[in-house]
Structure 1
Amino acid sequence: MKNLKSHFVFTQKQRNGIFLLVILILVFQCFYVFVSFSSEDISVDSKEIQLFQNEIDSLKLVEIEKRKPKIYPFNPNFITDYKGYTLGMTSEEINRLLKFRAQDQWINSAKQFQQVTNVSDSVFNKISPYFKFPDWVTNPKPKQQYTKSYKTTSPKSEAEKIDLNTATSIQLQKVYGIGEAFAERIIKYRTKQNGFVSIVELDEIYGLKPETITELKKSFSLKTPKKINRLDINLATKAELVTIRFIDYEIAHNIIEYRTLHEGFKSLDELTKVKDFPVKKIEIIKLYLHLN
């Protein structure tokens, strides 16, 4: 009995420790009783989530459409390598178009464009709605009776000739073979180029026959030619050469390569020996060049 009693005799520190332990046990018991640890299921509205996802998807599509390059109406006759690439054309299709145009031929319909380039239907259907041809192609005017036209029998003197850079449509139509349509084309060309540099540029007017040009020269001359800065063919850089009509970066590169290999050009006609040079346009190109 004495031994048993000794088990319940504690010091002051031990009694304080037991008291603190009892208090902690009571606190944890209360915490366990009054605090719920059960997890509640969160209700999810699948319809609202689907609507939210659909809205996100629609915003993504709008953003994708905004980032796509925009296509504006254009004349397919003037598609460049870069323009063709952005439209989705292959290099072979672009080369077929450039080769066709190099022969001084024009595409006048969407159907003809596909025949010339052999472009795929998917690309054709995407870009053809943006084709824009000149009004005289899409809305040709009925042929006019040239009652006012007459064939000159002899050339006029230089003083009597009219300046081609100031001639009106009515004055042009007095030449045999020049109707309203041709007069309009001549004036449109003159306006686009800010004036004729040389009368030889009449060869650039689509459909104008050589005999009609001969008749024009009898009554018209170039008294106020457009002023241009002519480049020295043996000194011009590639960046300067590409500013000349009908010369792109590839032809400019070939010109400089030929010039380097042959230690310069001896004459402007030597340009015809340059690889891929547009020989048919040499008379126009020579207007912008000179040789020291």
Structure 2
Amino acid sequence: MNVTEYIASGILESYVMGAVSDQERREVECLSSIYPDIRHELDQLSEALESYALLHSVEPPASVKDKLLKQLDFEKPEEKENDPIIRPMPVDMTTESTTTGLAFRTTWAVAASVGLLLLLFSFFLLSQLRTNQKTLAATRTTNETLQAEMRKLRDNQNQTSQALALLRQPGLRTIELQGNEKAPQGTMLVFWNTQTHQVAVDVRSLPALPANKQYQLWSMVDGKPVDAGVFEATNGNALLQRLNRSINRADAFAVTIENRGGSPTPTLSTLLALATVNT
């Protein structure tokens, strides 16, 4: 930067006279702090301006001072005898401090009590919520159990109604089967309708079987066994067990033990009962 040209530009005179913009003022102040020549020139201009002002100053007349003092009333106002004198009351700082501390402790105690009550109430609500959830779960379980029992009772009722309808139909034949030496206490009834060809059994007493085994009924036609369906060792809650086979002819009925689901041919070694159909 050419300092000489900057000083000769007249910007410093304008700065001293206060005729520069904010940006120019900041520029002059910044450069004067960097360049000593600019700082020196700026100081000289300031001193010259001050000397010029003092040289051409005019002292005002003495009458102006008197007029100003008369217009300004600096006299102390007179106190009236009857005006009461108000003096501040002394303040006991110890009492005030004690009162403030007591108030703070009281406020804190109240806030702590409220917080404790809210916390206890929250625990109470949480406990009630958990209790209600357990009650709801137990109620739901009970409801599901009742619905299952109702469905079971409805199914049993339907089976009973169907069994009674079967027993009331004309053409029904009843065959009693007694267990042999493999099931001496075994006894059951076979209901066969010669017109509708439906078959049902009423198990009175038969030995329990493993889960993978079932009893199977056979109708004997001209000495040949015909699959009449499988059944369980007990009737359960049903009156009868209806079999899913249609039997057109039967000279006799026999019972064997087979794998669950039945067998196309009887296992003679597991034969438990055999009874002929009376004509």
Which structure shows the bigger proportion of residues in strand conformation?
2
TM-score (norm 2): 0.25
Larger Rg: 2
Which structure shows the bigger proportion of residues in helix conformation?
1
